[in-house]
Amino acid sequence: MTATDHGSDDPYLWLEDVTGEEALDWVRARNKPTLAQFCGGRYEADFERMRAEALEVLDTDARIPYVRRRGDYLYNFWRDAANPRGLWRRTTLDSYRGDSPEWDVLIDVDELGCADDEKWVWAGATVIEPEFTRALVNLSPGGSDAVIVREFDMRTRQFIPDGFALPEAKSQIGWADPDTVLVGTDFGPDSLTESGYPRIVKRWHRGTPLSEAETIFSGTRTDVSAGANADRTPGFERSFAGRSIDFWNSELYEIRGSELIRIDVPTDASTSIHREWLLIELRSDWTLGAATYRAGSLLAAGYDEFLAGTADVQVVFEPDEHTCLHQTAWTRDRLLLVTLADVASRVEIVTPGTWRRETIAGIPPATNTVIAAADDTGDEFFLDSSGFDMPSRLLRGTGDGELEQIKSAPAFFDAENLDVQQYFVPSNDGTRIPYFVVRSRAIEGPGPTLLSGYGGFESSRTPGYSGVLGRLWLARGGTYVMANIRGGGEYGPRWHTQAMRENRHRVDEDFAAVADDLVNRGLTSVAQLGAQGGSNGGLLMGIMLTKYPEKFGALVCDVPLLDMKRYHLLLAGASWVAEYGDPDNPDDWEFISEYSPYQNISATRDYPQVLFTTSTRDDRVHPGHARKMVAALQAAGHRVWLYENIEGGHAGAADNEQAAFKSALSYSFLWRTLGGQP
């Protein structure tokens, strides 16, 4: 089945031709009036001020350079005005503690791009452990998910001419030993899943052609992907392979010679193996022997004992009505836990074996705190704490739980008079939905308000500092609202599973309930209420447009899914069938068709103004979604705006300059359409 043999009655199918000249001409013709309306003319000076302010936030050297330890060094990837594509660099802890660390630059992506005549975007590096001498560097042309891979010598700072290398593909590659990698990539016909990810994993030895690599694991075409990795921890050397059956179900095996040993946990559980321990995070209730463990629980067992069927399974964390597990990370001998209680974070350190939990002291109150990095070979970890009105602080800790503030970010806007409140509103079925409101105490009565939401894939939205949001919206008198709607993970997996597939309507009902509550509380009016969301959140915006247009004055719909009849045929769309349902199944299409924005456009309803943004290089969510929606809306007589960035991938921007431009465009649109003056 191909994308072209569906939707034959779709008059805009030709806009799915990503780089076709006819489609790109159509895009350019719609970019032009958008940029003229919100970036030029009498608004040009305001737009340029916002763009410059956003770029200053993104480029400033006063930002925290977040790091990850690899051996003796702390590694960082950094972009600024002088290095728009970025530097991969490293320093020592002693130097990092200072105000001006001495950075050893390993790769200058701008210089590399000039040498290769390619607009590379950094996509990460896999460093061999415990040697820390070589890396498999991923580079994306233009920001797409597909990357090339090159082997890099970290001692000579040179790419290895005859080293491991892969052409552009959505590859998965990792070290098995200094001369062997485990690789899943596009090996040719029938080597990819329907989602476009590797189906086959091979063991590839140095000095041999990829065509001679040995197949060690295979999934099926209907899987999302297959992959493998090796744990080279001394004394605990193991190799693993697995298949993602769908977005929420997977199987994991240990590879022992030619034998695959299944780690027999529920397929919807997440597992991690660290030294002698196995952790199991449950997404649904699990009965094991005489015990039943609740969804959202974190369990622990001895790894070897679990495989032998003799393990004593311990409960490390169990959720309640208000609290869920948010993050875990290992140091060598301790486990870090971050939990959320009504979307407020708490950090604990756990001793394996006894699984005794102790709250880490010294974390600033009323902040959102996350694990920024943890060294699973030593005792070091870094926490990042911030709030809507509080810039980030980077805290360094060790296995004893003691913290030191090692870095702090500057304030990019005056937050002294900001007020942050959390409210709850009942949705259609009575479920209480939390949301945060951030606004100046000087504001009296309704004003321009930006409501943001996501509501999918168990992704939690937590309070945090944004210099761009603060400068371009809050400091100019706007109100910001973050909705913690179902579909996310703010209350654990059940907050998500309540809103999957046929229950997807709850996401939209929750968001609409928050919108109504904002108006009912007198914080804004319909004409002054805007909303913004991207990707799955872009789908949410499309549903707000077509199902709840009377509730909003403007919408910003970023890199969205919109044609839910064909989403599973476009790029990575097939990997999300477990979340949304299968449009080719008549029973599933019955509920999908009720909300799919592209199929529910009305020529007779009044719609708020809407800005769609996407990227030609987005190879995760197809730009055809936004293109076709704009075309259909215009044909139905609606005023609609489009901006498509040629680069950027799913992030919508390939560097800080592009990100600043896109932010300024979105806020310019919101200020103009919601009646405010930036």
- Residues forming the active site: 535, 650
- Angle among Cα 382, 138, 271 to the nearest 5 degrees reads 55
CA distance 84 to 655: 6
Given CA atoms 622, 623, 624, 625 in this order, what sign does their dihedral have?
positive
Q: Are 349 and 401 in contact (CB under 8 A)?
A: yes
Please give the helix or strand (H or E) that residue 216 lies within, else none: strand 214-218
The pairing of beta strand 180-184 with beta strand 200-205: antiparallel
Structure token digits, residue 471: 């400068």
Distance CA 348, CA 422 (A): 24
Q: Pseudo-torsion of CA 328, 330, 333, 337, nearest 10°? A: -20
Determine the angle formed by the axes of helices 21-39 and 624-635, rounding to 10 degrees: 70
**Helix, strand, or coil (residue 616):** coil
**β-pairing, 479-483 with 529-534?**
unpaired
Is there a contact between 164 and 181 (Cβ–Cβ < 8 Å)?
Answer: yes
Q: Is the dihedral of CA 559, 563, 565, 571 positive or negative?
A: negative
Which residue spans within 518-662 are E strands per DSSP? 529-534, 554-558, 609-615, 640-645
Of 651, 455, 432, 663, nearest to 540 by C-alpha is 455
User: What whole-number distance in Å separates Cα of residue 664 and Cα of residue 468?
Assistant: 9
- How far does the chain reach from its first CA to its final CA, in angstroms? 50
* Closest listed residue to residue 79, CA positions, set 87, 89, 67: 87
- 100, two tokens: 């001006």
Instruction: Pull the structure tokens for residue 135.
Output: 């890396």
- Cα distances (Å, whole numbers) of residue 128 to 93, 178, 318, 372: 21, 7, 35, 21
Give the Cα separation of 119 and 565 in Å (integer). 34
| 572 sits in which H/E element | none
Q: How far is it, in rounded angstroms, from Cα 326 to Cα 340?
A: 6
Contact 649, 618 (CB under 8 A): yes
